[in-house]
Chains A and B, each alone.
Chain A
Amino acid sequence: MIPEYGHLALVFAFFLSLCLAVIPLVGTIYGRVIWIGTARSLAMGLFIFVAISYACLTWSFYVDDFSVAYVANHSNRLLPMYYKVCAVWGGHEGSLLLWVLILVGWTFAVSQLSRNMPIDMMARVLSVMGMISFGFLAFTLLTSNPFERILPDVPVDGSDLNPLLQDPGFVIHPPMLYMGYVGFSVVFAFAIAALIGGRIDAAWARWARPWTNTAWSFLTIGIALGSWWAYYELGWGGWWFWDPVENASFMPWLAGTALIHSLAMSEKRGVFNNWTLLLSIAAFSLSLLGTFLVRSGVLTSVHAFAVDPARGLFILIFLGIVVGGSLILYALRAPVLRNEAGFAPLSREAFLLANSFLFTISCCFVLLGTLFPLIADALNLGKFSVGEPYFNMFFPKFMAIVGLLLGVGIMLNWKKTNYTKIRRWQISAFLFSLWLASFIPGIIPGRYSVGAAVAIFIGSWVISASIIDVFRRSQNAKRVDVQLRKFGLSYYGMMIAHIGFGMTLLGASIDSIYSDQRDLRLTKGSYVEVSGYKFQLVDVSRLRGPNYWADRGSVIVSKNGKEVARLKPEKRSYMSGGNVMTEASIDAGFFRDLYVSLGNQINSTDWAVRVYYKPLVRWIWLGSALMALGGFIAIMDKRYRRVNVPQNETVKTALEEAAVEPEPNVAANNT
């Protein structure tokens, strides 16, 4: 009966989401306080019922209820318990339920944590989130019911979880990714609520910022985990493939990064509100687009779910309503400012705007590359696959410019800056980076790489400029420790995130330039030398895991005669389904990874082996972790926690904005 209860809870949640989508919003139109007041309780009810439903599905996995089709397809008696619990999101239906759970979780969180917002604004935000929940619950119930039974012929055993997913990285990757994806629905709802209410000001930006930062940080972690997982689990030694599904998660990140910076301008200076609104809509729309691309089967990918055009059509219609509707709303309601002036070319606004544009343009390029196969097919230009060369052609260049601008922009003041004041700080960062860039490629064995010099210059420029900026800002303080405490947490968050960005840039570029890869045929006992390391294949033995057989190679790595590591790459063949997986073995280090994966057995003594030397590859994920950490630190800033916004605050911001002359209806409506 448990699965039926789960189904029933989902149906209840569906009706609650309909109520949430309609009642509070209508209440704000007709000014009915009681209707408006239902928003919070409805959000809570919605969350509880989806949680019940999710718990029921988890229970079915826990007790091996193979009469449920979804459980039978994604679990197995032999599967370890923790994977059974995670197998809930191992396929389309369950992961969609997780999507919905996280969505209503965010809705609930907004209803609880944003108590300082005016009640009508809150009602609109929650209603918009209710609409999104409504769409996804309808999608789940109509096309992807995870509780469907196989009766009366209940299978004796399930067909097991995809072995690719039987890995600790998988346990946390999808939830983190969804937290980010779905988290952008909050700022989307804020934008729509602002468009409906006609109020876009600094206070609006201040409410939206912590939510956006949180979502962005989760998305950063999710993408980094996915990349790390691909690195060690797929056995290709790569960490980013520009695969459509990777792009699907990367585009919202790029738009989200642009959004974070644009929100900073909207909050501090009240400029570019339209741009901020558009990016808010774009970030979530790209999340929805990603969902469509992954679940409709229009593009090929290593991650794709089971293909069903009916599902694709449903999401496309939903996408059309949500994105089309919000963009039309934007076109009709966004304030048309007569004048966006008010800052000099050498100002923080100008540089933030430039970087925000660069991220947006990068996002457009990625979007074009991802969709090009579809466009070409529709126009009968033939079948195309857009590969890494396309993305590698433009992306590093854009990021290099972003890095260069970041190092300057971070030291600039709002409005305008006198360059002579920051010159000596800029020069010290510049010379330091130049010094590093000039000699490091020289001491690395092999030909001097100009590309590496450029990459090292930009990476260390970003990092050193961020650090030097702390000194610059505390130069006039009598006591440095007092000054350091005076910087808000949002400043530290920004600094840490920027250092992380610099590290990721360094890791990605140095690894791409210097990594060394060999595909080899090794006889037991023989060795190969890669970048000064000697890899010797000692033996290959056979062993049994909980639900698989494995060939485990034993590889001794030595440098200059000294043993560095013993690696044990595995080739696993899973008992149900007969899937074969490679488990790479990695000796991780701060400055380099040594990576071995075992290929096919060629004859009784020979094995195909793949060996990699990957310098600085860890910095990619370390940097991402710092970016996410920076995002989380920034939201702790006390100005976001102020319980009550003074009533005259909005008036004040409206007055401030009078300098840039917004259209009268923007700020006036609510004050």
Chain B
Amino acid sequence: MKRLKLFIPVILFITMAVFLYFGLGKDPTELESVTVGQKIPNFELKTLESNLTESVSADDLVGEPFLLNIWATWCPSCLIEHPFFLKLSQQNVKIVGVNYKDDSGAAIRWLEKYKNPYVVSVYDDTGRLGFDLGVTGAPETYLIDAEGFIVYRREGIVDEAIWQAHFSSYFEETRTQIMTADGEG
């Protein structure tokens, strides 16, 4: 009986070797797709705001720095970061929502109930854009610069501290402009 126990390592090893064998020849880089430093992938998707009647493309959005926020109604953390995005949108930070693998009806109701911080939310029900971006889950937030390059990627929620550390310097210009405009008015 004790002798049999000594075979446990062999069995574990064989199991592992089988997995390693199936791993050969598969391309793990499929996961990578677009990462930081590359241009935002092109897309053309229906918007939630228009009740899926109008589309928007990547080219329509590029031109000034903006945030691309992956969200969904099935994602509890998205609700946690939501108030912060509302605050940002009041400071005229451009935030584009990507409604990821979700139900459009539920998503539209969600935006009505919790208010909408997004200039536009595109409906990515198949997760195609998410795949191109290399999204691993929601929420995720991408910082896109004025030329359309992905500058920074954040997995998980964005709060004040994270905003200050990684995002804010790209938006200071916008904000000071708003502030002076407010001062004049």
Contacts and interface: CB of A to CB of B under 8 A. Distances in A.
Interface stretch (B2-10, B40-48, B70-78, B94-102): B2-10
Interface string B16-31: 1111111111101111
Given A385-B136, A519-B166, A331 B23 contact: no
Interface in B107-152: 136, 145, 151-152
B7 A300 contact: no
A385 B9 contact: no
Nearest to B14: A324
B23 A517 contact: no
B169 interface: yes
B9 A521 contact: no
Contact of A300 (B16, B32, B169): B32
A377 interface: yes
A434 B13 CA distance: 44
A346 B10 CA distance: 33
Contacts of A330: 6, 9-10
A300 B28 CA distance: 6
A282 B16 CA distance: 13
B84 interface: no
A303 to B, nearest CB: 14
Interface residues of B, number: 34
B19 A336 contact: no
A178 B34 CA distance: 33
Contacts of B181: none
Contacts of A285: 13
A519 B28 contact: no
B23 A377 contact: yes
Contact of B2 (A316, A336, A387): A336
A313 B21 CA distance: 8
B10 A334 contact: no
A332 B19 CA distance: 25
Nearest to A385: B31
Contact of B13 (A323, A373, A374, A375): A323
Contact of B26 (A298, A327, A375, A602): A298
Contact of B20 (A336, A374, A385): A374
Interface string B152-163: 100100000000
Contacts of A298: 20, 23-24, 26, 28
B17 A320 contact: yes
A239 interface: no
A378 B19 CA distance: 7
B20 A292 contact: yes
Contacts of A300: 28-29, 31-32
Contacts of B22: 374, 377-378
Given A517-B165, A521-B169, A331 B7 contact: yes
A517 B25 CA distance: 39
Q: How large is the interface on A (under 10, 10 to 19, 20 to 34, 35 or more residues)?
A: 35 or more
Contacts of A518: 165-166
A520 B7 contact: no
Nearest to B32: A300
Interface string A304-343: 0000010011001001100110011011101010000000
B16 A371 contact: yes
Interface string B168-180: 0110100000000
A359 B92 CA distance: 52
A273 to B, nearest CB: 12
Nearest to B2: A336
Contacts of B6: 274, 330-332, 334, 336
Given A320-B17, A336-B2, A383-B31, A377 B10 contact: no
Given A299-B28, A374-B20, A278 B165 contact: no
A296 interface: yes
A85 interface: no
A608 B9 CA distance: 51
A375 B10 contact: no
A40 B77 CA distance: 65
A415 B51 CA distance: 76
Nearest to B171: A521
Interface in A375-401: 375, 377-378, 383-385, 387
Contacts of A331: 3, 6-7, 9-10
Nearest to A580: B37
A506 B20 CA distance: 36
B19 A327 contact: no
Contacts of A384: 31, 136
Nearest to A373: B28
Interface string A158-182: 0000000000000000000000000
B24 A278 contact: no
A297 B24 CA distance: 8
Contacts of B9: 278, 281-282, 327, 330-331
B17 A319 contact: yes
Contacts of B28: 297-300, 373, 377, 383
A361 B69 CA distance: 38
B17 A374 contact: no
Contact of A324 (B13, B151, B155, B169): B13
B113 to A, nearest CB: 30
- Closest CB pairs A-B (n = 4): A298-B23, A521-B169, A374-B23, A378-B22
Given A300-B29, A300-B31, A519-B165, 18 more contacts: A281-B9, A282-B9, A298-B24, A298-B26, A320-B17, A324-B10, A324-B17, A327-B13, A328-B10, A331-B10, A332-B6, A371-B19, A373-B31, A374-B23, A377-B26, A378-B19, A384-B136, A518-B166
30 contacts: A282-B9, A296-B23, A298-B23, A298-B24, A298-B28, A299-B28, A300-B29, A300-B31, A309-B25, A312-B24, A312-B25, A313-B24, A323-B17, A324-B10, A327-B10, A327-B13, A330-B10, A331-B9, A334-B6, A336-B6, A371-B20, A374-B23, A375-B19, A377-B26, A378-B18, A383-B28, A383-B31, A518-B166, A521-B170, A608-B151
